[in-house]
């Protein structure tokens, strides 16, 4: 999936315009070392104000944005370069170790594993009934990579294997305290109990820079509230990217934890939801009751 470019008309707000101009600068220099001091000087702001303003406008910090662009370049390079080392240096990383430090938050796997389509990644899964129907979660040793609802375990397992066709997928055969804690937190959340630890569950997901921006923004929408796809597009500074926002929501493979159910049509209709509109309505109603 291609990484979206920042080519929309600049927003009317001068501060927001300055932040998106900085994004374009980072896009064009993702293979260079960009420190906060230099970016702040370019924007005419202090380091503190740049950090705060950039995150308010873009949804991530300047460093996270730069890392995302560099990692996106690496992803494309891994598929074209002769070897991993060539792709690593072409993307602007000083060494392969720098990539491995960030792999768990951007690639969801090591560069070699990503190059081979996920081959060698081990995913453990388990399914159990919840208030919203049968739920299956799949996890690597870094966190949840799959969370979906379905009618049968076979259906959900097929979806997991389709999402990660070259991974080693196996059922949880013995009790795992961490896995059990994640399941319990999700059960508490779906039962409408406040104070659950669901928001603290780590994720191990693959995303483009654009998807990451949308998903980060969705997590900022307060529980019980909804926004239209157009409002989300405006919120991330891409007012004309309504369809791209909808695609980012539909490509979410981690239900609930990335709350795409909080996005509806501008008409007030629920719109689509890959796990069924009844579940989407139930999740919104649940959050409103809790709030």
Q: What is the dihedral of CA 63, 143, 272, 289, to 10 degrees?
A: -100
Three-class secondary structure of residue 169 per DSSP: strand
Residue 145 annotated as catalytic: no
Residue by residue, DSSP assigns 253-280 as -BTTTS-GGGEE-TTS-----TT-HHHH
Strands annotated E in the chain: 122-130, 133-139, 144-150, 168-171, 227-228, 263-264
Tokens 């315009």 locate to 17
Strands annotated E in 131-184: 133-139, 144-150, 168-171
Three-class secondary structure of residue 128 per DSSP: strand
Q: Which two tokens stand for residue 150?
A: 């379905």
CA-to-CA separations, 134 to 8, 150, 157, in angstroms, rounded? 41, 6, 12
Q: Determine which one of 23, 145, 249, 260 is catalytic.
A: 260
Q: Which two tokens stand for residue 207?
A: 């995303």
Nearest to 135 by CA among 190, 175, 172, 178: 190
Overall size of the chain counted in residues: 291
Nearest to 144 by CA among 128, 124, 119: 124
Assess contact for 144 and 137: CB atoms under 8 A.
yes
Q: Which residues are catalytic?
A: 260
């Amino acid at each position: 999936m291609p990484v979206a470019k920042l080519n929309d008309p600049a927003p009317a707000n001068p501060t927001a315009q300055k932040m998106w101009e900085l994004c374009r600068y980072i896009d064009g220099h993702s293979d260079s070392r960009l420190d906060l001091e230099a970016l702040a000087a370019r924007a005419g702001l202090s380091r503190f104000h740049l950090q705060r303003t950039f995150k308010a406008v873009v949804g991530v910090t300047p460093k996270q944005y730069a890392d995302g662009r560099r990692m996106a370049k690496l992803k494309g390079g891994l598929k074209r370069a002769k070897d991993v080392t060539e792709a690593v240096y072409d993307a602007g990383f000083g060494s392969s170790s720098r990539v491995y430090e960030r792999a768990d938050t951007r690639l969801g796997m090591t560069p070699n594993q990503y190059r081979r389509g996920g081959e060698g990644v081990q995913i453990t899964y388990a399914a159990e009934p919840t208030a919203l129907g049968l739920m299956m979660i799949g996890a690597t040793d870094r966190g949840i990579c799959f969370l979906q609802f379905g009618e049968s375990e076979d259906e959900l397992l097929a979806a997991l294997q389709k999402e990660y066709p070259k991974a080693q997928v196996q059922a949880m055969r013995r009790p795992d305290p961490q896995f059990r804690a994640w399941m319990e937190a999700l059960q508490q959340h779906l039962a409408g109990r406040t104070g659950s630890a669901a928001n603290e569950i780590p994720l191990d997901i693959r995303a483009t820079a654009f998807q990451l921006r949308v998903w980060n923004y969705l997590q900022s929408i307060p529980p019980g509230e909804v926004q239209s796809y157009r409002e989300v597009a405006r919120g991330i500074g891409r007012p004309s990217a309504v369809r791209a926002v909808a695609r980012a929501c539909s490509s979410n493979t981690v239900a609930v934890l990335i709350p795409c159910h909080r996005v509806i049509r501008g008409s007030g209709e629920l719109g689509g939801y890959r796990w069924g509109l009844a579940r989407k309505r139930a999740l919104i109603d649940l959050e409103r009751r809790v709030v």
